[in-house]
Amino acid sequence: MTRRTGFTFVEILVAMAVFSVLTAVAVPKYHSMRGKAFTAALKADLAELRIAEEGFWAENHFYTTDPTQLDWRATSDVRITITASDPFAGFDATALHVKLTGTQCTMSVGRVTAAGTPSGDISCGAATGLPPGTGAPITP
């Protein structure tokens, strides 16, 4: 009697079932970790922007809304919008990641927002499309 080598059909089905279960568990974890990494990139870029803006302010005594005037560059796929109603008092920044839809991080420097966020704090949440600067300037 000759012995055949290889896998039986049942063995292949069992292996496929095991791989399917592992994939079903791993893919959501991967997407969750990917989203956390994108959010961390947004926060890091805003923190670096704050440092660059403070350096610019130390030399010019006003904040800029033009990132090309700063010694700073955002991470790839991160889009940052800088606004300032009074560039001598502060600025607002909003960061969005191209691959992370529905989430944005905001930062206001020189003012406390309507939500009570202190100057320089970075908060992330659902993308609203509204500018972050809805607060009054901080009085020393």
Helix (H), strand (E), coil (C) string for 66-101:
CHHHCCCCCCCCEEEEEECCCCCCCEEEEEEECCEE
The number of folded domains in the chain is: 1
| Domain membership flag for residue 64 | yes
Provide the percentage of residues in the chain whose pLDDT is more than 90.
59
Summarize pLDDT for 11-45 with one digit per residue, the tens: 999 999 999 999 999 999 999 999 999 999 999 99
- CA-angle at 135, arms to 80 and 61, nearest 5°: 65
Rg (C-alpha) for the chain, rounded Å, is: 24
Domain of 101 in residue numbering reads as: 9-137
| Domain membership flag for residue 31 | yes
| Domain membership flag for residue 1 | no
Summarize pLDDT for 128-138 with one digit per residue, the tens: 754 444 443 33
| Domain membership flag for residue 132 | yes
pTM for this model (two decimals): 0.75
| Domain membership flag for residue 4 | no
DSSP codes, 116-132:
-PPTT-EEEEE---S-S
Instruction: Say if CB 125 and CB 96 are below 8 A apart.
Output: no
